[in-house]
Amino acid sequence: MPEKPKLALYWAASCGGCEIAVVNLNEKILDLDAAFDFMFCPCLLDTKIKDIEALPDGAIAVTLFNGALRTEENVEMAHLLRRKSQILVAFGSCAKGGCIPALANFTTKDELLNSIFIDSFSVDNSTGIIPSGTTSFPEGDIHLPGMLGRVKHLAQEVEVDYQIPGCPPEPEQIWNAVEAILSGNLPAKGSTIGCGTLTVCDDCNRTKEEKRITAFRRNYEFYPEPELCMLEQGLLCMGIATRNGCGAPCTKANMPCTGCYGAPDGISDQGAKMVAALGSVMDIGDTTGLSEEAIAARVDAFLATIPDYAGQFYKYTLASSTLGGRVRR
């Protein structure tokens, strides 16, 4: 019996949701196991790093790498798995665009550590210890990997062959991507797979009309009409600027799309695109005869209805965006 191709599923700075999404393949996971030698997955298997290091380069057929790069260890693993893998896939939004971990790029490493270990209300740290480096215990030394100054997505550190979007990727789309890999029926290197070619609006069957938005409302404020476009109802639905393929489960559950599949094909910056789109449909009423100040005040009042620009527009893509985070001068 010929040896099955090796499959690795690694997590860097991530929540574990991508692993759960793989488990959510349900009975298909048996097909996955039949097709691959599922040999590395820290959350499920006991393979050690030294086992991976011992493999010849290119020994792993496919690595699904999820999570952003937050620590030096993440970077090390990215390089190691790149070296050992024939196909390296940025799996899920953290590996693809930075996702939630990358929102830390709006602050500095020091501010971040300070908030977590010193300033937090729930922390009592009178000696001001910030865990780092090597600490000795009777049982032995514990080494904490250093934190990077900025969170990166996978392709900012190593060459990535394909990307599968989603937070997490939908199981059907994971399977579609696996099938594409198995059949060798793959698009050009660098492509995003396991997704559609349009935006979430195409997957969402709500009625779309002309869009004029006078103010945004938040989910807790009202029950949205189940048949009408969420954006038209004043919910900040990211579906218009988000790649489809998820099947729009959120809008089907009466929740607005938060944009986890990232920017559609040909768009380099999802947040900027969303802002451009919203700027075009912002309805501040009839401004005929109003002074510039009065118009500006109306625009400000409109913008005040958006509580968190970064978390809203760059929740999944900050690391891969044009600015990448806070710009330091």
Partner 1 sequence: MKIGIYFCNCGCNIADKISAEAVGKAAISFPDKPYLEIVDFICSEDGKLQFEESLKLEQPDRVVVAACSPRDHEATFRRCMTNVGMNPYLLQMVNIREQIAWVTEDPKVATEKAIAAILGAVCRVREQQPLEKKLLEVCPDALVIGAGPAGMKAALALAEAGRSVVVVERTPFIGGLPVRFEDLFPSLECAPCMLEPLMGEMLHGDFPGTIELMTLSEVVAVTGFYGNFNVKIRQKPRHVSLHECIGCGECVEACPAVTTNEFNSNASDCKAIDFAFTGVLPNAPYLKEEICIRSRGEECRACKDACPMGEDVVDLDEVEKIVERRIGSIILATGARLYDASSVEGLGMGVLPNVFDALQFERMLSSTGPTGGEVATSEGIAPAAIAIIHCVGSLDDAHKPYCSGICCQYAFKFNHLITAKLPATAITHYHRELVVPGKAAHTLLNHAVKNENTTMKRFNSVTDLAVIQDATGRLQVSVKGESAPADMVILCPAMIPAEGSASLAALLDVSLDASGFYLELHGRIDAAQSTVKGVYLAGSCQEPMDIQRAMLEGMASVGHSLAGLQPGRMIEIEPITAGVDETHCAGCHLCITVCPYHAIAFNPELNVSRINAVLCHGCGTCVAACPAGAITGHHFTNAQIMAEMEGVLK
Between 140 and 289, name the residue whose CB sits nearer to partner 1.
289
Question: Where does this chain touch partner 1 (CB under 8 A) — which range of 134-142, 173-181, 265-273, 302-310?
Answer: 265-273
Minimum gap (Å) between residue 172 Cβ and partner 1? 19
Query: How far is it, in rounded angstroms, from Cα 250 to Cα 272?
Result: 22
Q: Give the residue with the Cβ less far from partner 1, 60 or 284.
A: 284
Residue 73 touching partner 1 (CB under 8 A) = no
Q: In this structure, how many other beta carbons lie within 10 angstroms of the beta carbon of residue 71? A: 17
Query: Which of 198, 295, 297, 323 touches partner 1 (CB under 8 A)?
Result: 198
Q: At 158, which amino acid appears?
A: V
Q: Which residues, listed in sequence order, are joined to residue 174 by a DSSP beta bridge?
A: none
Residues 6+ apart with CB under 8 A from 218: 235, 307
Binding partner 1 (rule: CB under 8 A), the pick from 265, 285, 295, 301 is 265
211 binds partner 1 (CB under 8 A): yes
Sign of the dihedral defined by the CA atoms of residues 295, 300, 305, 308, in that order: positive
Q: Map the footprint of partner 1 across residues 227-246, applying CB under 8 A.
A: 229, 239-241, 244
Q: Which of 115, 191, 197, 214 binds partner 1 (CB under 8 A)?
A: 197
In whole angstroms, the minimum distance from the beta carbon of 295 to partner 1 comes to 13
Q: Using CB atoms within 10 A of its CB, is residue 109 exposed (0-12), middle (13-18) or buried (19+)?
A: middle
Nearer to partner 1, 85 or 320 (CB): 320
What contacts 323, CB < 8 A, 6 or more positions away? none
Nearer to partner 1 by C-beta: 185 or 288? 288
Interaction between residue 281 and partner 1 (CB under 8 A): yes
Helix (H) or strand (E) holding 134: strand 133-137
Compare residues 185 and 291 and give the one whose CB is closer to partner 1.
291
User: Closest approach of Cβ 322 to partner 1, in Å?
Assistant: 12
Element (H, E) at 93: helix 93-97
Task: Pick between residue 27 and residue 286 the one whose CB is nearest to partner 1.
Answer: 286
Q: How many secondary structure helices (H) and strands (E) does the chain include?
A: 13, 9
**Contact by Cβ (8 Å): 239, 201:** yes
| Segment lying near partner 1 (by CB under 8 A), choices 18-26, 101-109, 177-185, 200-208 | 200-208
Give how many residues touch partner 1 by CB under 8 A.
Answer: 29
The only residue of 27, 139, 210, 227 in contact with partner 1, by rule CB under 8 A: 210
32 CB burial (10 A radius; 0-12, 13-18, 19+): middle
Q: Please answer whether residues 193 and 265 qualify as being in contact, where contact means their C-beta atoms are separated by less than 8 angstroms.
A: no
Of the candidate residues 45, 116, 129, 276, the single one contacting partner 1 (CB under 8 A): 276
The residues in 96-155 that bind partner 1, with binding defined as CB under 8 A, are none
Distance CA 108, CA 263 (A): 26
Residue 200 near partner 1 by CB under 8 A: yes
Residue 56: CB minimum distance to partner 1, A: 41
How does DSSP assign 180-191, residue by residue?
HHHHT---STT-
Separation CA 146–CA 245 (nearest Å):
37
Q: Does 280 bind partner 1 (CB under 8 A)?
A: yes
Interface with partner 1, residue 199, by CB under 8 A: yes
The whole-angstrom distance between residue 191's C-alpha and the CA centroid of its chain comes to 16
Choosing from 27, 46, 209, 293, the residue that interacts with partner 1 (CB under 8 A) is: 209
Record the tokens describing residue 238, joined without a space: 């990211």
DSSP state of 104: G
Which of residues 69 and 237 has its CB atom nearest to partner 1 in the complex?
A: 237
Binding site for partner 1 (CB under 8 A): 197-202, 208-212, 229, 239-241, 244, 264-267, 273-274, 276-277, 279-281, 288-289
